Amino acid sequence: MIVDVHAHTPTHRDAVPDDERRVYTGWRTDRPVTTTNSWADYDEAMAAADVSIVFNIAVDDPEAATGLPYRPEDTNTSTAAFVAADPARRIGFMSVDPTRADAVEQAEHCRDLGLVGVKLGPNYQDFDPLSPRATAFYGYCQREGLPIVFHQGASPIRHAPLRYTYPLVTDEIALAFPELRIVMAHMGHPWGKETVVTIRKHPHVYADVSSIYLRPWVCYESLLAAVEWGATHKLLLGSDFPIANTGEAMAGLRRVNAITEGTALPRIPDEVVEQIIHADALGALGLSLKETP
């Protein structure tokens, strides 16, 4: 089974009107990224995945903070509706501001909607991931078995603080909450080595490879670090839709050794690449698909 653990909820149920279309030219070096997508666009883009984990990020102004123009009040309800339309292939994660006094109450409501994990972007949401209210929320997630995907590393959004996404911050969280299942998104790009040494030491901390294949050296260097530190089994497939799609992610990983041609650089074993593509992400995160009638 191919599980894509990192995709953003499409912004529109139906076709996107021309006047609502949003395109960014600086998010990839090879082509523009369209951040407004319909449910059908998503299905086409993610066709290579058997299952995908999908989410939004809870912020006051989603377009300014993330580039995706969804209404803030629809952050979780739109994800829940999208997942409910195809529960055999989609798993929904919620997003809340963990520093709010009603964060747990919001999370409970999201669980009632069928959302089974959490996506947090401390840089986009502008909260200190080691603050008391944030860590109290992690404790709730640990008790309730809710895995958390943390945005980790760089972002094209200017106002998003990098200090909140440095991978060693996650080490502090995992030390305090050893049973909390965590995914460090993007292998913490460009801090792949820091991410690898973190996932290596914590049994329930993983990293996804979303977007790293868009930068060949970052991809090669990060995967090589995972090989050298014996942490390749902690890597999960991710695309970062709408920035990329599952097929692109798989193809990008399979091209990782192109950069070594004509050099004495060590190759990433082919079996490691396939292991990532076919990783048991649902088992790692304690998740399962909902049964359909």
**Model confidence pLDDT, tens digit, residues 115-145:** 999 999 999 999 999 999 999 999 999 999 9
* pLDDT beyond 60 at 293: no
pLDDT attached to residue 29: 87
Superfamily for 3-285? Metal-dependent hydrolases (3.20.20.140)
Overall residue count recorded for the chain in this entry? 293
Nearest to 195 by CA among 210, 185, 180, 203: 185
Query: Domains of the chain: which residue ranges?
Result: 3-285
In the sheet that 117-120 helps form, which strands lie side by side, from edge to edge? 3-8, 51-55, 90-94, 117-120, 148-150, 182-184, 205-208, 235-236
pLDDT attached to residue 130: 98
**Model confidence pLDDT, tens digit, residues 161-177:** 999 999 999 999 999 99
